[in-house]
Amino acid sequence: EHTARDTGLRMLVHTPFPPLLLGLHTYFAALLFTLVFVQKHFLLYNVSAVRPSWRWHRWRGYVILVSAVVMAAAGYLMGPYPTFGGFATFSIFFALPWLLWSGSLWWTARTGRVGLHRLLGNMMLKGCVAVPLSRMLTALLQPTWGVGPGYYGGISLASGVILVWQLADLRQFLAGTSEKAS
């Protein structure tokens, strides 16, 4: 059994996670989540056409994208270790959005699609909210629902909340008011 130190979330595993994969997944996730919120902070509270601020935005963005790819790849590579039914398949769906957001954010930045870039950045931000929320919900549900059902239940509940938030942003984007999307 693997128990997360931050929330008490439990996973039943065949063998312990390789320390290198667990470390890469953990540390790049922490870097990613921190930088996504820093990036959003500077966009909300320090918007400026000053060239150095955009240069820092670009460099933070590169670090965010690399962090998301490393975090997702390490998490995916840990997929075969848990004993939950269907977890290897589930881990694909857990890692895939981070890879898609990373590639799409890079592409929209390079091609000047600012509105779509903003929408995708907001999607990644929501992912950064969803992960700790799902970890906390999972840890709360596991004592009564069981380890596997509580794990999937916590993730499903958090995903449902984030989906509603994302649909509101998507509606604004499609209506042409993505400037107000948060």
Q: Which of 151, 131, 133, 132 shows the shortest CA–CA distance to 141?
A: 151
* pTM score: 0.85
Six-digit token pair at 88?
Answer: 């290897």
Q: Which of 55, 103, 104, 82 shows the shortest CA–CA distance to 155?
A: 82
Q: What is the pLDDT of residue 90?
A: 84
**What is the per-residue pLDDT across 41-76, written as a single tens digit (0 to 9) for each?**
777 666 555 555 778 889 999 999 999 999 999 999
Q: What is the pLDDT of residue 7?
A: 75
Share of the chain above pLDDT 90, in %: 57
Buried b (16+ CB within 10 A) or exposed e, 42-54: eeeeeeeeeeeee
**What is the per-residue pLDDT across 1-33, written as a single tens digit (0 to 9) for each?**
877 777 778 888 889 999 999 999 999 999 999
Residues 81, 15 contacting (CB under 8 angstroms): yes
Kindly report the average pLDDT of the chain as a whole number.
88
Residue 132 has pLDDT above 60, yes or no: yes
Q: Could you give the CA distance from residue 87 to residue 64 in angstroms, rounded to a whole number?
A: 26
Q: Which of 80, 92, 94, 179 shows the shortest CA–CA distance to 135?
A: 94
Phi then psi for 10, rounded to 5 degrees? -115, 145
Q: Please say whether the dihedral angle defined by the alpha carbons of residues 127, 13, 86 and 7, taken in this order, is positive or negative.
A: negative
Task: Tell me the mean pLDDT in the region 77-103.
Answer: 89
Q: How confident is the model at residue 101 (pLDDT cuts 50, 70, 90)?
A: very high
- For residue 129, what are the CA distances in angstroms to 15, 63, 124? 29, 19, 9
